[in-house]
A and B are shown apart, each in its own frame.
Chain A
Amino acid sequence: MENSAGISWLNDTEAILRFIKRLIDELPELQDRIEVLEEGDLLFSQGEPLEYMYLILEGNIQLTRTQPDGSEDVLITLGAGSFAGLIAFTTGEPTLTSGRITQKGLMLKMRPQQFEQYLNDHPRLKHPLQQLMLNNMIQRYKSNLRLQTKTHALSKELNKERNELKEAYQQLEATHQMLVHQEKMATLGELVAGFAHEVNNPASALMRAAENLIEIYAEFEDSHYSYQLFRLGLHSAPVNSSTQRQRMHLIEKKYPWIYDRSSVRKLAQMPDEALDLIDKNRKKGELETLINHFEAGKMIHNIRIASRRIANLVKSLKSYSRQDQNKEELADIRDGIQDTILVLSNRLKFIDVTLDLDDIPKTCANIGDLNQVWTNIIVNACDALDDQGELKISTKQREQTIEVKISDSGPGIPADILPKIFEPNFTTKNQGAEFGLGLGLAISHEIIGQAGGSIVARNRESGGAEFTIILPIRDDC
């Protein structure tokens, strides 16, 4: 803005003014047009048609503009040599500003309609007045340019601030979602702890019952064919359907007198050793009873396998969620990777998982948090693979860091979204039932960042996506 001394004038403004003042002294009809400015007087009001145009000879006039919201902005202070009402005079429209005197002085007051006449009547006045008007116009043009530059700079500044605000908002949003997520994980941890306890009880009962049944059978003598058949059943492994079909054909040929298909199927599941035992002892008991000894062993085998699976799942679920230790500890992050694989075994059922876990030193880490990262990446890979394909996880020590690589044989990450995948709310999944709220990788990014590490994603030349996580090796916890 201008200072109170008014616009800085072209060099000859003062000379021109002096000349005009001298002329006024000589011309009495002009002296009538001189008006005294008193400080605080309102010369004209915004929006009103203007009767006069003023040339300030001494003193200052401040131009203000009332904004739509009622506030008043000071636009400019006009000093000696300035015209007030010039635009209204030129366009004939109501004035755009209000003029108030801020420093007393003198001015020459002219009716616009008479202006032309003044100039014609006083040829000596014509040139200096035109010169002054030109000066005014130049000045206003210059100040307009300055304003434009300023506006430009301001809007640039505003834009920058808006972007910063946007970024801050995004960060806030990410933090908020991270907190919600952590809260969820804590709740999950509590749930898992309770669940594990509840499930472990029936699982132990199952396991114990199976072992007790085995002991009951053990009361037979070791050499007794019933016990031998039972033991063979206990250690048999179920065979797949197609193998079983082939074996059923063989059994049908070997025992053409057996018409009962269920018996054929059961015999088809037996190893040759069990069939020999049945052949040898067939006269001692009904075929069905002999088969049932083997079946009993097989059923207990199934109970053992199933209850062991339950126990293992509960164990890794517990260690995966790490309910009890939500802080850093000196740990082998490979344990966390193994737990994650076990917990996700349902998703990984038809995925060929290769673990290439080199020996790495223990490091300070929040294993529960890191498990979240492995989970997010692996679940994304499963989605990309449509639950069928290859997944490779490797660990390596590189100087003072641990490098974990997780790659899949899927279609890779489209190039246009690759730069965005760690942003919050970025998801390729349809909203809804799936795991993803578009937070997985953003949270992973946050977790790895907090651990002082880095995470990057790329597409391998051989195809598929690859995530590389670098974690510093630390022992300060």
Chain B
Amino acid sequence: MSEHTTESELNFTRVFAAPRELVFRCMIEPEHLTHFWGPTGVSTPRENIKVEAHPGGAFETVLVNDADGSEYAMRATYVEIVEHERIVWIDPDSGMTTTSTFVDLGEAGTEIHIRQTNVPEPMRGPEAQAGFLTSLDRFASYVVTISGGSER
């Protein structure tokens, strides 16, 4: 079963035209999170956002579907917070870990890199990652491209 040490991960990257400190604050302060945390058609009421910004602290939100009012609670625990640089939280139910990295691009703004992994304790070294961890999300779009042309 040694092959189970391999790992799957998803990566998302986005550049924002704003300074790094501000982008970082948006990702960790409830008064900012309430403006954007829910995807399209979903709100995140300010009063239901709980942020305990320290390792072991809670990160909880309640997503409200604008159309029918149905609610979905998200509960995670912060694992690591490095001011202006990195936020890591884990979803205790699924074991999925989300790492947000903030890169200062100077004039160009700030890049956020989101990495989601299924492994609770990231125990791999950087060189181990570089080799075989191609991202699943790119694979997904590739498979859809080659085989899913007929659906949609």
Q: Decide if A and B are genuine partners.
A: no
